[in-house]
C-alpha cells in the first residue's frame, strides 16, 4: 500500500505525544497498565507507556465521541460512545446499538456488571456476557420537557449497588429493587431544577450528586443536603440554572472523584477544581495558564493512585499535591 497517497492525518496513527485537540472525556487505565483516552470527537487513543495509537470509526468504533470506558473480566475494553457501545478485543471492534427494540421492565431478569448509557432515552444498557439488555427506568411522568432521562454518569458503591445519574432523576439498583430519587426526594426547592451531570458513591458510603446550576447534593443515609449551599458556594444572585457562575462558586459540577486519601474532588464547568478534605474546600482555579479553557471533562484515579484530569481543550494533567503537571 502506498503510504504517500493517504491523507496526512492517516499517517499519524502512532505518535510520541498525544495528538488530540478536542476534549478528553474519558480516562481509563486497564489491568495491564495501558491508558485509554477517549476524546470528544476524535475517537480513542491507546497509550502503552511508549507511544500513542489511535482508533476511530475508520477502525470500527461506533462513534468518535467517547463518553465512558471500562474493562470486563476477560480483559476486553468497552467504550460508551455517542452512538452506541463498542468493545475492543484483540485488534477488533464489535458494536452494539444505543438501545435495542426489546426493552426490559424487570431488571431482575438480567444480570451482569457492565452498564452503559442509552443516551437521551428512558433506560440503561446492561451486558450479561452475551446479550446487551435495554432496561427501562421505573419513572414517574416527566413534567419537565427540557429534562430527559438520558444517563449522564454511573457509579458503584462499596456494597455493589449501582447509582445511575440521569438529567431528571437519580436511580439506584441493588440487584433486587430499582429506586428513584426525583426532585422531591432530593429536597429541591420549587425554583430549583434537577439537572444531574455526575454521581459518585464514595468509600465512606456517601453519595455525591453534581447538579448543573444548583451545585453538589450530598446524600448520607436518609439525609440529603445541598453541600454547595452549606459551604456558601452558591452566589447570592445565582439564577440556579445553566448560566455562567461567579468565581469561588461550585454551581456546575460536571465531574466528581475520590482520591486515594479520601478527599472528594469536583470539576466545575466555570470554577475549575475543588478539593474537599472532610472539613475544608480548596479551589484550584487554574490547571494550566496556557489553556484558553480550564474546563475539566473528567477526573480519574489511576492504578498508581494518581489523580488525572481530562481537559476540554485536550490533554491530561496530574495533581502533584500542589498544582497540575501535564502528563499526556
Q: Does residue 6 surpass a pLDDT of 70?
A: no
Quickly state the pLDDT bin for 11 (edges 50, 70, 90): very low
The predicted-structure confidence for 187-221, as pLDDT tens digits, reads as follows 999 888 899 999 999 999 999 999 999 999 999 99
In this prediction, residue 326 carries a pLDDT of: 97
Those residues whose C-beta lies under 8 Å from the C-beta of residue 279, and which sit 6 or more positions away, are: none
Q: Does residue 4 surpass a pLDDT of 80?
A: no
Among 97, 181, 102, which residue's Cα sits nearest to residue 138?
Answer: 181
In this prediction, residue 146 carries a pLDDT of: 65
The predicted-structure confidence for 40-94, as pLDDT tens digits, reads as follows 999 999 999 999 999 999 999 999 999 999 999 999 999 999 999 999 998 899 9
Rounded to two decimals, the pTM is 0.93
Angle (CA) 262-198-294 rounded to 5° is 85
Quickly state the pLDDT bin for 241 (edges 50, 70, 90): confident
The predicted-structure confidence for 144-165, as pLDDT tens digits, reads as follows 666 788 999 999 999 999 999 9
In this prediction, residue 240 carries a pLDDT of: 85
In this prediction, residue 40 carries a pLDDT of: 97
- CA 197 vs CA 107, 167, 298: distances in Å: 23, 7, 11
In this prediction, residue 185 carries a pLDDT of: 93
pLDDT (mean) for 110-119 = 90
Q: Does residue 9 surpass a pLDDT of 60?
A: no
Those residues whose C-beta lies under 8 Å from the C-beta of residue 304, and which sit 6 or more positions away, are: none
The predicted-structure confidence for 258-312, as pLDDT tens digits, reads as follows 999 999 999 999 999 999 999 999 999 999 999 999 999 999 999 999 999 999 9
Q: Which residue(s) pair with 155 in the sheet? A: 163
In this prediction, residue 242 carries a pLDDT of: 78
Those residues whose C-beta lies under 8 Å from the C-beta of residue 317, and which sit 6 or more positions away, are: 287, 288, 308, 309, 311, 324, 325, 326, 327
Among 200, 234, 199, which residue's Cα sits nearest to residue 215?
Answer: 234
Helices (H), the chain: 227-230
Window from 118-127, 143-152, 233-242, 296-305 with minimum mean pLDDT: 143-152
For residue 5, the SS3 value is: helix
Amino acid at each position: 500500500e502506498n503510504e504517500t497517497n493517504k491523507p496526512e492525518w492517516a499517517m499519524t496513527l502512532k505518535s510520541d505525544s498525544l495528538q488530540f485537540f478536542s476534549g478528553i472525556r474519558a480516562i481509563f487505565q486497564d489491568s495491564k497498565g495501558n491508558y485509554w483516552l477517549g476524546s470528544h470527537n476524535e475517537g480513542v487513543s491507546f497509550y502503552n507507556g511508549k507511544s500513542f495509537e489511535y482508533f476511530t470509526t475508520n477502525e470500527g468504533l461506533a462513534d468518535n465521541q467517547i463518553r465512558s470506558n471500562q474493562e470486563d473480566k476477560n480483559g476486553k475494553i468497552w467504550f460508551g460512545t455517542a452512538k452506541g457501545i463498542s468493545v475492543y478485543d484483540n485488534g477488533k471492534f464489535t458494536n452494539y446499538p444505543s438501545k435495542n427494540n426489546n426493552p426490559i421492565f424487570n431488571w431482575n431478569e438480567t444480570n451482569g456488571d457492565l452498564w452503559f448509557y442509552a443516551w437521551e432515552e428512558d433506560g440503561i444498557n446492561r451486558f450479561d456476557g452475551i446479550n446487551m439488555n435495554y432496561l427501562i427506568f421505573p419513572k414517574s411522568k416527566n413534567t419537565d420537557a427540557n429534562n430527559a432521562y438520558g444517563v449522564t454518569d454511573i457509579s458503584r458503591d462499596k456494597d455493589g449497588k449501582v447509582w445511575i445519574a440521569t438529567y431528571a432523576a437519580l436511580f439506584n439498583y441493588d440487584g433486587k429493587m430499582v429506586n428513584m430519587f426525583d426532585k422531591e426526594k432530593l429536597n429541591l426547592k420549587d425554583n430549583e431544577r434537577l439537572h444531574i451531570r455526575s454521581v459518585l458513591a464514595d468509600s465512606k458510603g456517601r453519595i455525591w450528586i453534581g447538579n448543573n446550576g444548583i451545585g453538589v447534593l450530598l446524600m448520607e443515609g436518609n439525609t440529603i443536603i445541598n453541600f454547595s449551599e452549606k459551604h456558601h458556594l452558591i452566589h447570592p444572585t445565582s439564577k440556579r440554572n445553566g448560566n455562567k457562575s461567579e468565581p469561588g462558586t461550585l454551581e456546575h459540577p460536571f465531574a466528581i472523584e475520590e482520591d486515594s486519601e479520601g478527599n472528594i474532588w469536583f470539576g466545575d464547568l466555570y470554577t475549575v477544581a475543588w478539593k474537599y478534605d472532610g472539613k475544608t474546600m480548596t479551589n484550584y482555579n487554574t490547571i494550566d495558564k496556557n489553556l484558553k479553557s480550564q474546563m475539566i471533562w473528567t477526573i480519574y484515579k489511576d492504578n498508581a493512585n494518581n489523580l488525572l484530569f481530562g481537559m476540554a481543550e485536550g490533554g491530561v494533567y496530574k495533581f502533584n499535591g500542589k498544582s497540575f503537571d501535564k502528563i499526556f
